[in-house]
Amino acid sequence: MKLDQLQHLVVIVEQGSLRGAARRLDMPQPALTRSVRALERELGCALFVREASGMVLTPAGSRFHVHASAIVNEARRAVDAISQDTGEEEGTVSIALSIMPHVMMLPHALPVFQRRYPKVRLNIVEGLFPDVERELRQGGLDFYIGAQPRIAPAAGLAVQHLLSNTRSLVVRKGHPLGDAKRLKDLAFAHWATTGVDYNADDDIARLFETHKLPPPTVMLRARSAVSMMVALANSDLVAMLPAQWEVFPFVRNTLRVIKVREVLPAPSVVLIRRPDLPLTPAAEFLCDVMMRSAELT
């Protein structure tokens, strides 16, 4: 079994087809097919089945893919670490961030990181922990910074508290409810949500229940900051977002915060990573810079 065979399998899964994987790997499709078949012969089982939608992993292939991904990612990380230790300072750092660190931590950290590692490519995934847990466990992501998940991660991941947080109510400028003073003044508004896990509606409903209010009407669910910004700027939706949105430069001209009396709690911001996988020097540097940026918020 060779490392390049494992890399071929991982790319096929990522691309969903032999043709797409061959393009990505810049190799002839017949050669890629031979690589997969040789791996299947060595393992004594089929890893893929061909369907109309493309190449689909068999149950055995799914189990093998988990281990292959971890090996491929760790090999990449090892090469990057040697490169950075010997002065080449190239490679890739892959991280996941929820909305709050995108808004308030990344703007401080990014220029510092790029000055220190100008040749290192940075891959950023926007998402919440449940969206990225699998890739984090498989080593495809170096670390996650964002909202603390409601359910603590299972063994194998370390969680470090970075800061406590609150939320604000955000609407477009000129919103008819922009001068509301209490949460109950907004009870019959239409809401947009971006939650800390897959139960975003439950998250906001619990808050309203705490204040003895009926659950609000959720009309839009956004999984990205861009989707949320566009939705709020072009509608009368109300959203409950990390308090840092109030000073986010990109939204100052279009959005505003409603100053209500109630304190709106938010999940803590945490760092989650695999403690058994050493970060490359570049990833370690970025992690440190992001954590220092958290102290500025």
Q: Which three-class secondary structure state does DSSP give residue 77?
A: helix
Closest among 264, 246, 263, 262 to 184, alpha carbons compared = 262
Residue 235 has pLDDT above 70, yes or no: yes
Closest among 188, 163, 186, 196 to 260, alpha carbons compared = 186
Q: Which three-class secondary structure state does DSSP give residue 159?
A: strand
Q: For 180-209, what is each residue's pLDDT tens digit? A: 999 999 988 999 988 655 566 777 888 888
Cβ pair 15, 7 in contact under 8 A: no
Domain boundaries, the chain: 3-79, 89-163+269-294, 165-266
Q: For 31-55, what is each residue's pLDDT tens digit? A: 999 998 999 999 999 998 888 778 8
Q: What is the CATH number of domain 165-266?
A: 3.40.190.10
**Does domain 89-163+269-294 sit in CATH 3.90.1150.10?**
no
Q: For 106-156, what is each residue's pLDDT tens digit? A: 999 999 999 999 999 999 998 889 889 988 998 889 999 999 988 889 888
In our burial notation (b when 16+ CB lie closer than 10 A, e otherwise), range 217-236 reads: ebebebbebeebbebbeeee
* Helices 18-25 & 3-15 angle (0-180, nearest 10): 120
User: How many helices and strands in the chain, by DSSP H and E?
Assistant: 10, 11
Q: In this prediction, what percent of the chain has a pLDDT beyond 70? A: 97
Alpha carbon separation from 272 to 17, 39, 94, 157, 269 (Å, rounded):
32, 34, 13, 7, 10
Select 3-79's CATH number: 3.40.50.150, 3.30.1130.10, 1.10.10.10, 3.40.640.10: 1.10.10.10
- Would 3-79 and 89-163+269-294 be classified into the same CATH topology? no
Cβ pair 242, 170 in contact under 8 A: no
Cβ pair 166, 282 in contact under 8 A: no
